[in-house]
Amino acid sequence: MAERNHIEIRDGLRSLYVRSRRTLDRILAPYGSSAARLSLMTYIAKNGGVRSAEIIKAFTLAPRTVTEAIDALETAGHVQRRSDPVDGRAKVISLTPAGAKLFRKLEPLWERFAEELLDALSGEERRQFATLLGKLNGRLEEIYAELEEAAALEAP
């Protein structure tokens, strides 16, 4: 039965995502961080000074989400916004020294959690899983594009 599979996958996916995020949030909460904030800090750490718009594209998030997240990180003193000297509209976001220090402490915690979780799979299974996620994400992109197109036709 195809439907059995649908439900199993839907529930399995939801369960895995929601609960792994929750678990990671618990691990990071004592440091005043979270899964969302750490992934953002990771992106900034790897890419140096970045713009809000760049983060929006990289994570496929709504602008609101990113502004809010940066606000929180800035209030906590982990990142700073500076006006882009070249483009007056843009702001460049970078880690503060304190943010960089915190990142170096938290990254291993995430890495340990990921390793512990993925330990449930063999190397071959991990590759399979990554491949399947990639295929589904590709298809999702197509579906999303169709929806956008349909919406554009409705409200011209």
CB contact at 8 A, 74 and 80: yes
Two tokens, residue 58? 């990289």
Give min distance, CB of 23 to DNA, in A.
8
Residue 108, binding choice from its own copies, DNA, none, Cβ under 5 to 8 Å by partner class = none
The distance of Cα 107 from the centroid of its chain, to the nearest Å, equals 14
Q: Degrees (nearest 5) of the Cα angle 110, 116, 119?
A: 135
**Of these, 5, 75, 108, 152, which contacts its own copies (CB under 8 A)?**
5
Give min distance, CB of 83 to DNA, in A.
9
| Of residues 123-152, those binding its own copies (CB under 8 A) | 125-130, 132-140, 143-144, 147
Give min distance, CB of 55 to DNA, in A.
8
CB contact at 8 A, 21 and 35: yes
12 counts as binding its own copies under rule CB under 8 A: yes
Q: Which is nearer to DNA, 36 or 128 (CB)?
A: 36
| Helix runs in the chain, H state only | 2-28, 35-47, 52-59, 63-75, 97-118, 123-154
CB contact at 8 A, 50 and 42: no
Residue 81, binding choice from DNA, its own copies, none, Cβ under 5 to 8 Å by partner class = DNA
Two tokens, residue 27? 């691990």
17 counts as binding its own copies under rule CB under 8 A: yes
Q: Which residues bind its own copies (CB under 8 A)?
A: 2-3, 5-6, 8-10, 12-20, 23, 26-27, 39, 60, 111, 113-121, 125-130, 132-140, 143-144, 147
